[in-house]
Chain A
Amino acid sequence: MAEHEISREDLQPLAEIDRVIHEPARLLILAYLSVVDSADFLFLMNQTALTRGNLSSHLSKLEAAGYIEIKKEFVEKIPQTLLRLTEGGKKAFQQYQSNMKQVLDSLSQ
Chain B
Amino acid sequence: MTRIELRQIEQKAHRAFQQDGLNILFAGVALGVIAVFFIDVRHGWVFALGIALAVSMPAFFRRQLVHPRIGYAQFPQSKGMGRHIAAICLAVMCLLLFYALGRIEHFNWLMPLYLGTVFSAAALVATIKFGLSLYYVLTFVLLLSGLAGLGFTMRGHDAGWVVAFQLWGLAAILTPVGLVQLLYFLRKNPTRSTEDTNGRA
Contacts and interface: CB of A to CB of B under 8 A. Distances in A.
Contact of A52 (B9, B10, B195): B195
Interface residues on A, range: 35 or more
Interface residues of B, number: 27
B201 A40 contact: no
Contacts of A72: 198
B157 interface: no
A43 B198 contact: no
Contacts of B1: 27, 31, 97, 100
Interface in B46-76: 63, 67-68, 70-76
Interface string A52-66: 110110011001000
B194 interface: yes
Given A31-B6, A47-B12, A39 B201 contact: no
Interface of B: 1, 5-6, 9-10, 12-13, 16, 63, 67-68, 70-76, 192, 194-201
B74 A55 contact: no
- Among A32, A42, A56, chain B packs the most CB atoms within 10 A around the CB of A42
Given A47-B16, A81-B199, A32 B70 contact: no
Contact of B75 (A36, A41, A45): A36
